[in-house]
Structure 1
Amino acid sequence: MKPYDTDAKYCIYSEAFNYYLYTPPGSRRSSETSARLRYRAFFGKEPRMKKVIPMPKQAGSPTEEGEPPSRSKSA
């Protein structure tokens, strides 16, 4: 791979320093890839996202009705 054959969105080659400089999206991508590889090495399978189940709303909850929570009168 030639130094200039990079995606500028993720990294930029610095000819002056003979070094690759990673952009914030490139750094995040590298971190996520590294975490995925560590997971796969440890568990022997690909990570998967858990299903998010929304909590049911409670009837009569003061915060659900737009009212601030009541304060105790003992202070």
Structure 2
Amino acid sequence: MYENRQYISELARIIGISRPLLYIHLRKLEEAGLVKASMEISSDGKATKYYELTHFDMRLTPQMLHEISKEINLEDEKSQ
């Protein structure tokens, strides 16, 4: 997705998940500033929303990874 932008149907097909589920994930990524969306109107008048990755730099410390792993373990325990 860094190389070019994609629309929902194309991304869903590539990733292998439903469009509604992908939309939920993309909306969260957009809120976090990791992807950006733009709406365009094609020559036939159809509106298409395109998504592309934003450039970001995320540095993880050992402490952050430890905290994340604790959260994942708690979620696993709840689901059992």
What TM-score do the two structures reach when normalised by structure 1?
0.32
- Whichever structure has more helix as a proportion of its residues is 2
Higher relative contact order (CA 8 A, sep 6+): 2
- Whichever structure has more strand as a proportion of its residues is 2
Larger Rg, first or second structure (1 or 2):
1
What TM-score do the two structures reach when normalised by structure 2?
0.30
